[in-house]
């Protein structure tokens, strides 16, 4: 395949919230994200209470991210060939099936270890179908002028889902118990599933899929997409940047936060842990709000994304060796702000500069890099931390990522004088 690529100049930005279809998409996306996290709260609680297995906890992390590594590009290829709306619906149906499956085993009290492993794996596969296909549909809903806004708002909604989902899940579990709670949770997937039945969006709705449809070739698609992306001057460094962030750091430091809270020694470790996580999330939410309302001060370029990512790595390096709790709170707040800023910009740049003929495959490769490689961050931060200590492991991981971001930034063409 011969691809010609030109760097797309960012169009005059407009808010995606002005588009009625996107407002519906965002609300239903947030509900599905909340349901995803509610299911984690309930299923993890019951499964780990029943088995008390650290190995199952580790499997839960791997099974969540490994499907992104294995299937993101094939799912992207499916989006090049089939209707993205139907693929998202397939993901929602799979999510609902998994929740009902948990509920069945809770009711019958027959849950076994292998049942939990199968359900956790299916949940990860549902996430791939939903995540990659949503990004494909997003481009068609908002267009290029509002794409950066839409990606940023979706990232903010994701953080809201991370915050609200566990809280709502705990309330539901307290009020109705885990069995009824997991069944009730299926209702939160329905708005997106039902809206997509006749949603007037997507290339298939617009009739923009005429011409030959490339076959889905599995692993061969990954190899060919990597070759194609290597020739795209904006997409290639953004994919590598997202991969570096996921591989070396990801969100694995969240799992180590109880240890940091304990060693910072600020009063109640449980409250200290909660505040550290809240500071990171609050910084991200503030970034989403400020960039949406005052985002013109930050140019959407590859160089900007790389500089912000470089600073994110530096902030986590600083946090890894903090000994004063208030300073740690402040640094994590800054880290959350920087993370949402560069990650949303990275994804928007990939969207804007992906060739339309292979857009699904390129978005799939980005998802594989940004999400799938998180399966290994547990090794770089977690396993290394068990061998040394969590401060050194996060510090070394942050340094490795800063080196990656710095090298990519150095390779960026300098602006004309």
Q: Domain check: are 175 and 250 in the same one?
A: no
| Mean pLDDT on 272-278 | 74
Asked whether residue 5 is domain-assigned, the answer is no
Domain count, the chain: 2
In 3D, which of 209, 223, 255, 232 has the Cα closest to residue 368?
223
* pLDDT (mean) for 339-365: 89
Residue 65 has phi, psi (to 5 degrees) of -100, -30
Q: Is residue 4 part of a domain?
A: no
Q: Please check whether residues 228 and 109 belong to one and the same domain.
A: no
In a domain, 279, yes or no: yes
Quick one: 306 exposed, middle or buried, by C-beta within 10 A (0-12, 13-18, 19+)? Answer: buried
What does each C-alpha distance from 412 to 225, 298, 352 come to in angstroms? Answer: 22, 18, 18
pLDDT for 9-21, tens place per residue? Answer: 445 557 888 888 8
Q: Quick one: 18 and 144 in the same domain? A: yes
Same domain, yes or no: 246 and 199: no
Nearest-angstrom CA–CA distance, 163 and 281: 8
Give pLDDT, residue 211. 47
Whether residues 206 and 274 share a domain: the answer is: no
Q: Given 194, 211, 228, which residue is the final one in a domain?
A: 211
How far is it, in rounded angstroms, from Cα 166 to Cα 34?
8
Which segments of 52-112 does DSSP mark as H helices, in order? 54-81, 84-108
Within this chain, do residues 98 and 155 fall inside the same structural domain, yes or no?
yes
149 and 223 assigned to the same domain: no
Question: pTM (2 decimals)?
Answer: 0.81
**104 and 181 inside one domain:** yes
Domain presence at residue 368: yes
Q: Report the Cα 363 to chain-centroid distance in Å.
A: 13
Per-residue pLDDT for 79 more than 60? yes
CATH code of 146's domain: 1.20.1250.20
Query: Domain span at residue 39?
Result: 13-211
Query: In 202-234, which residue ranges form alpha helices assigned H by DSSP?
Result: 203-206, 219-230
Average the pLDDT over each of 38-47, 87-96, 384-393 and give the range with the smallest value.
384-393
Residues 183, 242, single domain; the answer is no
Share of the chain above pLDDT 70, in %: 84
- 402: Cβ contacts below 8 Å, ≥ 6 apart: 310, 313, 314, 317
Query: Does residue 182 form part of some domain?
Result: yes
State the pLDDT at residue 17.
86
Residue owning tokens 């909340």: 34
Task: Say yes or no: 111 and 230 in one domain.
Answer: no
List of residues 6+ apart from 208 with CB closer than 8 A: none
Summarize the confidence of residues 156-174 as an average pLDDT.
80
Residues 47 and 191 both lie in one domain: yes
């Amino acid at each position: 395949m011969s691809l010609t690529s030109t760097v797309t100049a960012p169009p005059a930005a407009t808010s995606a919230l002005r588009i009625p279809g996107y407002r519906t998409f965002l609300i239903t996306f947030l509900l599905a994200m909340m349901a995803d996290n509610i299911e984690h709260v309930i299923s993890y609680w019951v499964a780990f209470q029943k088995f008390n297995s650290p190995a199952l906890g580790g499997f839960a992390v791997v099974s969540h991210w490994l499907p992104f590594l294995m299937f993101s590009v094939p799912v992207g290829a499916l989006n090049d060939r089939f209707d993205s709306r139907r693929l998202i619906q397939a993901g929602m149906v799979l999510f609902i099936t998994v929740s009902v499956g948990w509920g069945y085993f809770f009711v019958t009290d027959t849950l076994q270890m292998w049942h939990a492993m199968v359900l956790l794996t299916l949940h990860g596969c549902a996430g791939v179908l939903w995540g990659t296909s949503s990004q494909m549909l997003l481009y068609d809903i908002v267009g290029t002028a509002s794409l950066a806004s839409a990606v940023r708002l979706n990232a903010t909604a994701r953080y809201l889902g991370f915050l609200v989902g566990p809280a709502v899940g705990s309330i539901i579990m307290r009020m109705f118990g885990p069995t009824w709670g997991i069944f009730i949770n299926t209702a939160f997937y329905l708005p997106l599933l039902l809206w997509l039945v006749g949603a007037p969006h997507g290339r298939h709705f617009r009739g923009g899929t005429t011409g030959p449809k490339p076959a889905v070739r599995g692993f061969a698609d990954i190899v060919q997409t990597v070759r194609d992306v290597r020739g795209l001057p904006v997409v290639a460094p953004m994919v590598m940047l997202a991969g570096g962030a996921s591989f070396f750091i990801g969100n694995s430091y969240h799992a180590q936060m109880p240890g940091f809270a304990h060693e910072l020694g600020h009063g109640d470790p449980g409250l200290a842990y909660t505040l550290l996580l809240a500071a990171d999330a609050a910084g991200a939410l503030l970034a989403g709000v400020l960039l949406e309302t005052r985002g013109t001060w930050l140019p959407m370029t590859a160089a900007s994304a790389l500089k912000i990512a470089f600073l994110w790595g530096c902030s986590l390096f600083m946090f890894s060796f903090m000994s004063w709790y208030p300073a740690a709170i402040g640094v994590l707040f800054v880290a959350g702000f920087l993370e949402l800023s560069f990650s949303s910009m990275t994804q928007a740049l990939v969207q804007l500069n992906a060739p339309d003929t292979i857009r699904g495959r390129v978005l799939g490769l980005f998802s594989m890099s940004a999400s799938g490689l998180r399966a290994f961050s547990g090794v770089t931060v977690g396993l290394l931390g068990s061998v040394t200590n969590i401060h050194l492991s996060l510090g070394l991981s942050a340094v490795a990522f800063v080196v990656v971001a710095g090298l990519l930034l150095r390779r960026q063409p300098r602006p004309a004088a």
